[in-house]
A and B are shown apart, each in its own frame.
Chain A
Amino acid sequence: MRVVFSGNWKTAKLPSVRSCAEELEFHSPSKSIEMDALPEAWDSRFVAFIFALQKLLAENGFLAKLEKFPTELRGLMGLAAKGSDAERRREVSQPQTTTRHAQRFAIGERVQFLGSMVKGILLFCQKKTSVRGTGFGRLLRQAGFESLPIVATVSFLIGTILGFIGSLQLERFGAAIFVADLVAIATVREMAPLMTAVVLAGRVGAAFSATIASMRTRGEIDALSTFGISAMDFLAVPRVVAMAAMTPLLCVISVLVSTGGGMAVAIPMLNVGCLQYVHESAASVKFGAFCFGIGKSVIFALIIAPIACRSGMICERTADGVGRATTRAVVNAITAIIVADALCDAMAARLRI
């Protein structure tokens, strides 16, 4: 059978390759179809169409003969057909995802990660670590100083909210001054560590994860390993230590700013004196409660940073992978913080702290 392509193939709407092939197969008496092209105008769309058509026909055992096609067109087709890589590509890319999946959920791998992290942290703190040039100062700044404005803002607002609710309720019982106690105890024990951790998870945890993930994607971590610099010691450990060092400081600042926030609402609303408020606040917070709050903030930091770093270190090597790693870091960290908070509170209740 002989088919002739004519007309303007540059502007025409192309028919579907599949229906075209089906029609040809239906009408063709033999397995060989001779094709002839006399198009007025054509571009690569036409070549792509013929390429796909020929391939589809070949899959069903039909041979499309293109001898009569213009030479330029056959040249292009020839180049495209030479790409023997396609076959190997198909072979290569199958069994990957399962191994990656298995790897990500292996418990052994997590334990190993934790083990080498603890070891790395101990060495780092004793200044015995073998890696140098980690930019630790910059990390301290990133985790601490640069996070200060957002932590302060959030804390102040939380303080005002607590102060406002407390004032409305306690005023009815004529116990206005106890707003100071309420705000102080609530922030020291709960709100300051929790809000600091949530803000840091979103701000610093996400940054840690994205940095490490994009380094992995670009092969920078491979380059580190060939220089015998482990990603754990060079990237993860300094970040964890920096965060564990800065979070308690931020937490203390958060407590102070929250108290200020509470005071800013309570003083005009309730007619209590400034000094009286401060005195009442200070008296209400026991040393144990203070330590409990600070201790929690350290625990939270030790949850956020390793989760963020690990999420970056296991990310898939694509731009999407980096995005997913960052999301995973923040979501997992915040969930883990809240669970840990509940556990800590339950324990504190038992121990009557």
Chain B
Amino acid sequence: MGNVESVAAISVDGVSVGHGGLPLLSGVTFSVAAGEILAIVGKSGCGKSTLLRVLVGLDRPMAGAVRVCGMNPAEMLRMGGAMAAKTYGVLFQDCALWTSMTLLENVLLPLRNYSRNGEEEIRNLAKFKLALVGLEGFENAYPHEISGGMAKRAAIARAMALDPPILIFDEPSAGLDPCTAKQIDKLILQIRSICGTAIVLISHELGSIGRLSDRVAFMDVETKSMRPIAKLEEMMVTAAADSALRDFFGDRPTRQAALEGFGHET
């Protein structure tokens, strides 16, 4: 990549998130540099998706500060959000495709609003993005006419529509068969290496975390806090001494097998 960014793509400092005044996670601190992939893992219900809403500015943190490209995301949305749209793309866990529009229109809408190029060009761009996630030929399908995994992929295409410098994905490969999941993993790696995109990846798939992530942030339900960020291999090693990590990553042989299976391909 070469150029060292002076501001981190995302920096999260001492953030608490929760619902109804009670924190689910507190003291979450990390930063993601341009071109880096950070995986956020943790048990189901530990607050990952809640944290995502804070990262993208839909909710305000209960404490602490979030900066995306040096700006407060909640403020970015409040000020109109054009800045936010060009800064990050989001894949929600439940996809949140616009159900009264076709897949093509879903990808087109952000382009229509922010791209200065002609209609034909943005249509081609939108079709290309859909083809990237393997949805060529489904441009005119409505979200209720496609499967869960296809919806996930369409939502990934929509998140990438504006080629933002930051992508935030909530479980991109959930509900996909291993083969398609691998294709999505490859796509994520390619986006990163072509555009130098910073990617936050919430995931449960150890395999894809191993293939994709540079570092891993583990959220612990019991202590409602984040373990120190580390590479997956390091985290696997610490897992021997940490019961929460051990529960999550499995016992020693499983971890070993998983580690060997990754075969980093960058």
Judged by a CB distance under 8 angstroms, whether B242 is at the interface is no
Cβ of A228: which chain B residues have Cβ within 8 Å of it? 77, 80-86, 113-114
Identify which of A84, A95, A229 gathers the most chain B CB atoms within 10 Å of its CB.
Answer: A229
Judged by a CB distance under 8 angstroms, whether A341 is at the interface is no
| Cα separation A209 to B216 with both chains bound (whole Å) | 43
* Minimum CB distance partner of B105 in chain A: A133
Interface string of B44-73 (1 = CB under 8 A from A): 010000000100111000000000000000
Cβ of A338: which chain B residues have Cβ within 8 Å of it? none
Interface string of A89-104 (1 = CB under 8 A from B): 0011111100100000
Cβ of B89: which chain A residues have Cβ within 8 Å of it? 226
Judged by a CB distance under 8 angstroms, whether B146 is at the interface is no
| Cα separation A222 to B84 with both chains bound (whole Å) | 13
> How many residues of A are in contact with the other chain, CB < 8 A?
28
Judged by a CB distance under 8 angstroms, whether B28 is at the interface is no
| Cα separation A220 to B81 with both chains bound (whole Å) | 16
Shortest B82–chain A CB gap in Å is 5
B81-119 contacts to A, CB under 8 A, are 81-86, 88-90, 92, 94, 96-100, 105, 108-110, 112-114
Known: A85-B45, A91-B22, A96-B19. A133 touches B113 (CB 8 A): yes
Interface string of B13-55 (1 = CB under 8 A from A): 0000011111010000000000000000000010000000100
Judge whether A130 and B80 touch: CB under 8 Å: yes
Cβ of B100: which chain A residues have Cβ within 8 Å of it? 211
Judge whether A226 and B56 touch: CB under 8 Å: yes
| Cα separation A223 to B85 with both chains bound (whole Å) | 10
* Minimum CB distance partner of B109 in chain A: A133
Judge whether B113 and A226 touch: CB under 8 Å: no
Shortest B25–chain A CB gap in Å is 12
Judged by a CB distance under 8 angstroms, whether A218 is at the interface is yes
A193-250 contacts to B, CB under 8 A, are 211, 215, 218-220, 222-230
Known: A132-B112, A227-B113, A230-B81. 12 other contacts (CB 8 A): A92-B18, A92-B22, A95-B20, A133-B105, A211-B100, A215-B98, A215-B99, A219-B92, A223-B92, A223-B96, A228-B81, A228-B82
Which residues of B pack against A, CB within 8 Å?
Answer: 18-22, 24, 45, 53, 56-58, 77, 80-86, 88-90, 92, 94, 96-100, 105, 108-110, 112-114, 221
